[in-house]
Amino acid sequence: MDKATVKAHKISDQEYEEILKILGREPNLLELGIFSAMWSEHCSYKSSKKYLNGFPTKAPWVIQGPGENAGVIDVGGGVAAVFKMESHNHPSFIEPFQGAATGVGGILRDVFTMGARVVANMNSLRFGEVRGESENARKQRYLLKGAVAGIAHYGNCMGIPTIGGETTFDPSFNGNILVNAFALGLCKSDEIFYGRAEGIGNPVIYVGSKTGRDGLGGAVMASDSFNDANKSLRPTVQVGDPFAEKLLMEACLELFKTDYVVGIQDMGAAGLTSSSFEMAGRSGSGMKMYLDRVPMRETGMTPYELMLSESQERMLICAKKGCEQNILEIFKKWDLDAEIIGEVTDSGVMELYWHGELAGEIPIAPLSEASPVLDRPTARPKYLDEIKNLQIPENVDNKTAFWKLLGEPEVLNKSLIYDQYDANIQTNTIKQPGLLGAAVIRVKETGRAIAMAAQCDPRANFVDPKIGAARAVAAAGRKVAMSGATPLAITDCLNYGNPQNPEVMWQFAQGCEGIKEACRELNTPVVSGNVSLYNDTEGVSVYPTPAIVTVGVNEDANLSLSSVFTRVGAAIYVLGETKGEFAASLYAKALFDAVGGELAAVDYKKERALWDLVIEANKSGALEFANSVGVGGVAITLAKMACLSGLGAECKFDVEKPNFIFDESFSRAIVGVKDEAKFESLAAKYGVKFEKIGSVGGDKFKLNDIEEKLSDVSEVYFNKFAAIIRQED
């Protein structure tokens, strides 16, 4: 094979030597393409695998941990929750609508292929600087509008509510936006399906939409940095059809009521290649596939194109022998293509035929289960020493600071985004998007509620990748606990820069250690996840962004706590310690354009005590609302709660220095208390520090030396974001 072709497939010299050893000969183009896709960063996790070992993955409620299409936990009453988060960063930067839409489509298939009906979507979005008239700001606004429209289009057409998420902004994402999609489905806990192909002679069936040339090379593209050349790679971005996926989901759910299926796998990144190799690899089986039988959307397609296309809305099924016709009829009924394209063997080899001729022959294990593991060099970034001594001037009065922080895009209300999502379809949504904290749905069959929350602070991860990642786990769990639910497990999407940069690999390694530590200490194991590397452009990497979604359960859906003020007169308490921490804070960034300092480590005992206090106090009827203190500290958190409830607040918060009302000390919450004596007794039992700071009511927002009309605060909070994003409309 000539060197130019090998290089074009992003295969290193060392990897090519390994291919020659595995095959005992030169590969043909089809085989090279398959190796290229399966050994890409996106599919093989070759740079990250070393650090993913050791994640806590087990607990009594975990049914399926990492290694399958999605994670599964027991949520009580014979019901299981199936969930996962995944990235579609590069495609969304190249073509925001289709990139984001197919990101949603892909995560939905990962969930329903496990046998679950999808009941909730969320997303975690990062954009660059959207303010101003620069070419970049205009580009970021375009990307935001396109990505959000794509997410809304796919979820709404599928009839799946998008019930929450997070959106943050930072110049580090100017060259690479991040679009992370999360989905959660429900099924009976004893009716879960797995991505396996086993049983000699069992048929392999292709179902769903026809295969075209869209998405060719998508997995390889997602495993490379951006430059001017590959920013134009629109053909590598898949095109989604949510109506076809809706039919596919319903057909699969009908199929799952039968006993025809041995295993089933979504065709995601690397399409037919990854699905077939992974299914056979998990079982130690072999497979024969007859590629001329694959339903094709375009004429003149080659085996290479058929194996590597990332056309959407497709599945691969390993069926029980003798059930083929029954399966074909189900998919025909739903107006979907279905063809028997192969069979399971015991050879451990993938044999690919084209019109009766052997077109490719590759051992399966080296590609699926034993792909390369790279031990890339790591180096602590030099910038950490430069930024650790953060000096915060004290020359800005609180009123000025308040208005500045309130007007930051990451603080402002994002109704421009979430109003495009149907949040109420399926009629299970308890808590609407935009109402702070965790999203909550009802499980009608059991009367329980499932809470889920997305969280990551990229600035904190830039300042300290280990503590920042641990904080993401803790803060996502805290949001769930503040809804009254017990946090049970997480899924993650680890977004980092170029792994060939030793400093990025160090950030990644530290981030993994932070997640391991936090999940272990807080008893929220990792059940699924995704790694997205090469989020860099022209040598500039994004801030480390290990996005976390925590999922938890409240045994009584009627006891789901609000995150905003609920009535006039309610007593407002701040829980936890306020120590004057401004490292990586919004205050430092917004007022002084400074990102730095040294983060305090997470005190897991205090964090868990806060969760347990709120969960028990809620069960006892002592609480009215609860909300985690986030960016902008107590002042901004209170202001958002007041705006969203339409109720003012009168508060006096005892702090050491005036600007501590904006500090971002960790493990804190704001709660509304009904029964003060009972609550204070419980707080003492859990050893949680508390301060009663005031009460809900009036038409003003008052906190220490800040006193503003609630209508003025609300005007900025609700309207400024749309004004920024819609400048060109």
Catalytic residues: 42, 88
What tokens does 30 get? Answer: 């089809």
Measure the CA–CA gap between 273 and 108, rounded to whole angstroms: 20
Nearest to 504 by CA among 472, 530, 457, 541: 541
Element (H, E) at 638: helix 633-645
Report yes or no: 700 and 707 within 8 Å, Cβ to Cβ: yes
Report yes or no: 98 and 214 within 8 Å, Cβ to Cβ: no
Report yes or no: 588 and 595 within 8 Å, Cβ to Cβ: yes
- How far from the centroid of its chain's Cα atoms is residue 556's Cα? 26
Backbone angles phi, psi at 570, to 5 degrees: -65, 135
Report yes or no: 188 and 212 within 8 Å, Cβ to Cβ: no
The CA-CA-CA angle for residues 320, 325, 329, to 5°, reads: 120
Element (H, E) at 357: strand 357-363
Report yes or no: 68 and 59 within 8 Å, Cβ to Cβ: no
Nearest to 277 by CA among 88, 105, 84, 35: 35
- For tokens 């300290």, the residue is 464
Give SS3 for 159.
coil
Residue 133: Cβ within 10 Å count: 7
SS (H, E, C) 503-561: HHHHHHHHHHHHHHHHHHHHCCCEEEEEEECCCEECCEECCCEEEEEEEEEECCHHHCC
Pairing label, strands 429-431, 439-443: antiparallel
Measure the CA–CA gap between 437 and 336, rounded to whole angstroms: 40
Q: What share of the chain is helix, strand, coil (3-state, %, to 5)?
A: 40, 25, 35
Going along 408-476, which residue ranges are E strands? Answer: 429-431, 439-443, 448-455
Burial class (CB in 10 A: 0-12, 13-18, 19+), 425: middle
Nearest to 603 by CA among 615, 611, 594, 595: 611
Measure the CA–CA gap between 647 and 702, rounded to whole angstroms: 12
Measure the CA–CA gap between 344 and 346, rounded to whole angstroms: 7
Residues in the chain: 729
Give SS3 for 694.
strand
Element (H, E) at 352: strand 349-354
Report yes or no: 145 and 167 within 8 Å, Cβ to Cβ: no
- Cα 289 to Cα 33, 311, 328, 360: the distances in Å are 16, 18, 17, 10
- Cα 583 to Cα 112, 179, 400, 546: the distances in Å are 41, 26, 20, 18
Measure the CA–CA gap between 58 and 73, rounded to whole angstroms: 10
